[in-house]
Each structure stands twice: as structure tokens, then as C-alpha cells.
Amino acid sequence: MTSCYKMNKLKKDFPIFNNNPKLTYLDSTATSLKPKSVIDKLVEYYSQYSANIFRGVYKISEKATEEYEETRKIVADFINARKDAEIVFTRNTTESLNLIAYSLGREIVDKDDEIVTTIMEHHSNFVPWQVLCLEVGASFKVIDINDKGYLDLELDDIKYKKSNIKNTYQILKKIVTEKTKILTLTYISNVLGTINPVKEIIAAAKKINPKIITIIDAAQAVPHLKVDVQDLGCDFLVFSSHKMLGPTGVGVLWGKENLLKEMFPFMYGGEMINEVYIDRTIFKDPPHKFEAGTPAIGEVIAFKEAIKYLKTIGMDKVREHEKKLALFCLKILRREFGNRLKIFGPIDENDRGGAIAFSFGKYHPHDIASILDEEKIAVRAGHHCAMPLHNRLGVNATVRASFYIYNDENDIERLIKGLKKVEKILA
């Protein structure tokens, strides 16, 4: 566990641990903690050049605009977008997905068409599409999971790992058709932790229907592993700054330039127009066409510090670290609690991210989380905005412990101790 040890040193970069020295934070899937460099950048903007962007012809507004646009470049580079203009800043992943549903979905999906998603989606990649289908009378098709927490592509674990376009194609052919206008799915499940073979799924879907629009919800992927939009071959990819060390209030919508150009704006108002007359308006080109009104300027500016921080560690190292923690946690949970504790999602750490959801005996997840909180261990309890998935799993709620770069094996050992206390109190 050498890398875990090294990573442990990162805690000093996160001021929250100075203020809460006993905190074991295991809820990064909900939102991550922020390093000092991000907080400092926010303070820099608000204390040195907190002007509005684009409008001013004065120095501090120019400085703010420069800083804002530099973040766009850094985001584009981080996910290997072809152009900075393909990066649209929104409020969060949820807004990015709704933007696509409104601006593109409502234009291209008609009665008798289909939208395909999966049962493991977060509500923000489920409800907008379900509502759209209900509105226009299209079919809403949902790919199921198997008992091991993988997408039900009828592949056993070994085949799944080796999944290639050929076998994914055979299975997907039963679900995706020429009528499927949109395929939208999560890269990593926020409950099961499953890493989906999105590249293969996209390639297979495009082979079945070359006109299909593919959308990746990468809210749990971009913070945790290297994501390359060109390599994945998708049309859109979305994520949130706050889950990857950055400030809240900033989401990213990456889209292929030609699609963004064709799409109507999501919101109308200031900053997204070139010319306005009584009878017509000429919109700006993307990405500004989609950024109506004053954005979260300071937060976008500080977001780049989060990316710089992750780049300094290296995304391969981030992934390696979380894989080791997941393996350690899965092993120790099984060893200490056996069948009393049911882990949902893949048991192979290679196929999963750092979110581990479980149920524990008959104890209510909220009671478990409350007892852990007394020990200063922060975990999440509930349906984690994935009710269809919890219904599918046959449970109302689960406890979820999730890891990020600042966690180490001590945090997991404290979790185990806390769970033993839960058993003592609730048994």
C-alpha cells in the first residue's frame, strides 16, 4: 500500500482536515473536499479582480475574463477535446444533461422513436429522458443489470472484461435499433461503482445506428480516471467541478462542435447574443450561446486549480490509489462481517471505482450513518438519487462509503471499527 501511504500526505493540502482533525470523510461521490490552492484562487478572484466578464473594457474585468477562459482551455486539454469551444460551462452535471434534453432531445426525438439508458443511472440522467419520452410519446428503454452489478449485456465477468465491439454489438442489437435517437449512460455508477465499457458500447451502438447520439454521464469518471472524449467516441460528455476538488456551481458540458452549433440555446438572455432587434436575435457561436447570464465566475476560475492539482498527481495514480483502497475495503468488509454485510456491485476492484454501497444486517442505513457520524465518519445513507436502481436491488436504501485521493487505509480501518460499534449498539 505504498501509494496509499504517499497519498495520505495529501491531507495536509486540504484545510478541512485542520479544522476537523478527526474527520474520516467517505462521501466524495456526493462532493469532494477542496485543496487550499482552489480556496486561495477563489479568494484571489473575490479580493483582487471580482469584476464581471466579457463586458468590461477595464483591467480587472479583462483579467477575470482571461482567467475564466483559461479554465476552459485547461478543461478542454484535460479531457482531450478538439477545441476549447466544445466546453460549455453550466451549473452542474444535472444542468448539462437537461440542456441536452431540451436543446437537442426535443428537436430530434419524436413519437415512436426511442431513448435508451440504464437502470444504474443517477436521476439526473434518467428523469430528463423519461419526461421527454412521456411528453412526445417515445419509448424509454432501460438496460438492466445482472446479479453481479454489471450492465446486463449477457456477458459473464471474464467476457465483460474482454468485451469488444463484436460481442457488445450482438447484445446491444436487441436493445438499440434504427429508431433509437439517443443512448445515454453513466461511465461509473455512483452506487455500484461499476465501470461500464462505454467505449465498446458507443462503438457498437454507432454500428447499429450511425445516426445515434451518445451521451456519457462522467460525473463519477472524470474525477477518478483518465477520460479522453476523442478516444471514447461519444457525442456528449458531462461532469461537475465539485466532485473533482473544484468549487460547487460549475458543471461541464462537452459536445462535438458541429452538434453544439446546430443546437438551440437552452436559456436566452445576456452574454449569449450577437445582435438583438425587435423582430429577431442573432446568437453567439458555442460555447457562449449556451452560457446566458452571469456565470459562476470565481468558481470557474478556481476550477482550473483543481485540475492542476489532479494533473500533478496524475490520473493514472489517482485510479491506482482508489483501486487499492477499494480492494482493501472489500476484503476487510468481507473478512470482518461475512454475510451479515451485503456489498452491491462488482467484487473485482478492476471493474469498479471507489464507491462501495452496502446493506448491513437489518440495520437501517440512516441509523448506521448516524452512529458512524458520532465517530466522525461521514458516509451517505439513502437511495443516492438512484431509486430505480435501489428498487431493482430490492432495497429502499444503502450505506455508501466512497474514497478519493485524500483517503487512506486508516480511514477504512476506522470505518470497520465504526461498523463494529453499529453492531454492538443495534444488535
Ligand X SMILES: Cc1ncc(COP(=O)(O)O)c(C=O)c1O
103 vs 220, which CB is nearer to ligand X? 220
Considering only residues 342 to 401 of the shown chain, the ones binding ligand X according to CB under 6 A are: none
Which one of 159-167, 212-220, 258-266, 359-367 is the stretch in contact with ligand X (CB under 6 A)?
A: 212-220
Residue ranges with strand state E in 277-360: 281-283, 341-343, 355-360
Site mask, ligand X, residues 215-254, x = CB under 6 A? --x-xx-------------------x--------------
Question: Interface with ligand X includes 186 (CB under 6 A)?
Answer: yes
Question: Interface with ligand X includes 32 (CB under 6 A)?
Answer: no
53 vs 253, which CB is nearer to ligand X? 253
- CB atoms under 10 Å from CB of 41, counted, come to 24
Cβ atoms of residues 199 and 227 within 8 Å: no
Site mask, ligand X, residues 54-93, x = CB under 6 A? --------------------------------------xx
The Cα–Cα gap between 202 and 216 comes to 9
- CB atoms under 10 Å from CB of 424, counted, come to 9
92 vs 163, which CB is nearer to ligand X? 92
Near ligand X by CB under 6 A: residue from 24, 65, 103, 124: 124
By DSSP bridging, strand 180-186 and strand 139-143 are: unpaired
The Cα–Cα gap between 296 and 301 comes to 9
Considering only residues 278 to 297 of the shown chain, the ones binding ligand X according to CB under 6 A are: none
190 vs 398, which CB is nearer to ligand X? 190
* Residue 385 bears catalytic tag: yes
Please report, to the nearest 10 degrees, the dihedral formed by the alpha carbons of residues 196, 202, 207, 208 taken in order: 70
Q: Which of 389, 207, 223, 201 is nearest to 215 (CA)?
A: 201
Instruction: Report, in Å, the least distance between residue 335 CB and ligand X.
Output: 28
Question: Interface with ligand X includes 94 (CB under 6 A)?
Answer: yes
Instruction: Report, in Å, the least distance between residue 120 CB and ligand X.
Output: 9
The Cα–Cα gap between 197 and 161 comes to 8
Q: Which of 101, 349, 127, 110 is nearest to 238 (CA)?
A: 101
The Cα–Cα gap between 197 and 308 comes to 27
125 vs 359, which CB is nearer to ligand X? 125
* Interface ranges with ligand X (CB under 6 A): 30, 92-94, 122, 124-125, 186, 190, 217, 219-220, 240
Residues marked active site are found at 385
